[in-house]
Chains A and B, each alone.
Chain A
Amino acid sequence: MRAAMRDDLPFPRTEVGKETEAYNFAYLDEQTKRMIRRAILKAIAIPGYQVPFASREMPMPYGWGTGGVQVTAAVLGPDDVLKVIDQGSDDTTNAVSIRRFFAKTAGVATTTKTREATLIQTRHRIPEEPLRDGQILVYQVPIPEPLRFLEPRETETRKLHALADYGLMHVKLYEDIARHGHIATTYAYPVEVAGRYVMDPSPTPKFDNPKMDMCAALQLFGAGREKRIYAVPPHTRVRSLDFEDHPFRIQTFKQPCALCGAEGGYLDEVVLDDRGGRMFVCSDTDFCEERRAAGHRGAMAADGDAAGETR
């Protein structure tokens, strides 16, 4: 059925239900989506390069993922299966409302399962389960310019990118080591894409940086307020910047997930009470649930799924 709908593009609104009829498919008008797709194609052609685009007003405030939502709207097809995560979680307000937004305006199927999704919009995490060919990961980006910290002038940062003049990026890392004895940047850790452009991977933990390298999925980045789109095509080298004597390292956790017992995943700290009780659990809720469904148990997991409900 959905394949048939494709033929009706650009006006496929007939089959998505009564409520949806007030909107064009995926909310944005076709001209806008075409404009955004052109920006995306350019971004894919020049990995890591920030392509300006005419960001639209969206029915949500800046900072809530307007860039990611526009990119998703532009690439979403009727037969896509959408997953939305916020800090790894499928059920935070932000994730739920974006998922509902597209269910309502595009009528697409949604899921919380990484494996089932064809398109994943994310805020600040990359799923633990390796992505595969054909999947698209859309990042919400607040500040796309990795050099902004040291160079406030846009004209100058553009020139620095054009000349691959990235000494400044290392000044930032130098400052980290000078102040903390190690590179203390743990989020939005700058990467070099395909040996050329330096890119801000959005505020994902640096733990996720290695997943970007040679990733099978297409990675798209949208910054709504800053009006920039950039991309990492599938199977592209993504290298985290570092010093020879202070090589890039990801965070490690002393204990496994308290719920599913997973080791080597990215954990969130959950405060349990006001007496200092706390637990560390997978930030990727889908990953954690899948493991528990497969019978894995962590130290604090009650029988069944009781502990999971505290989240």
Chain B
Amino acid sequence: MTALLEVGHLVKDFSAHGSLFRKGPVTRAVDDVTFSIETGETFGLVGESGSGKTTTGRCLLRLIEPTSGEVRFRDENVLAMPPRELRRTRRHLQMVFQDPYSSLDPRMRAGASVAEPLVIHRIGNRQARDARVATLFDLVGLPADAAARYPHEFSGGQRQRIGLARALALEPSLLVLDEPVSALDVSVQAQVVNLLLDLQQRLGLTYLFIAHDLRLVRQICSRVAVMYRGRIVELGPADRLFDAPAHGYTRALLTAIPRLDVTGRLDRVEYDEASFERLPLSEVAAGHWAAV
């Protein structure tokens, strides 16, 4: 396996309401984040709200400009790319959002939404694009006549399928999936998760899976990074990280997951926020790193 995406010392600062001459206080949303994603794997980025996981995902595609650091896609520095080259690279790096309803134009028919990336990148003529849209709808399990309908006519699960079809239109190799199923009911969520697994196998896709649902992350990710206060505090193979967490925060997170086999109070490990230190990652076992 080779690294498809490498992220090095990524930093994103947000400055709150400053004035023209004085900057407001700076919040470091992403603090020295380093990881790499291998071709074909599903890499999970987990954390609670405010941990910086979503900001990290957006920085990778430069939907938000990072403050400093490095993002290399197929060994090319994404952050140094001029606009034209960035546009070309973005074909291979696509994002899927949590709420497909807000990412789809409500006045645009589903087929047109899916074809839009092809139009923007001037790929194919009308006829070729229609054929491609039909293929994509079939790929994500939507009936062909769905192309003529509007977003509000679909259920949440179907809208997420449309979002996926749109993200796949340009044949990307990496999908950044930001909470792709967390708005869906559990029975529908399972359908979309299975679709993601099928698509990965058929198209050889690589996933960065950003999620707060640790049960789901355990189910589908090969490796996992845990973020806390903008930093990765632990990173390793999923089975290893879930079975033998090394960082106190990871232990607190994992022992807080509701369990079907526990009645009454969970036997939780609490994490003392005051004990948090900005430590570098060190390797606690093969491929398993923790800020301890």
- Co-assembled chains A and B: no
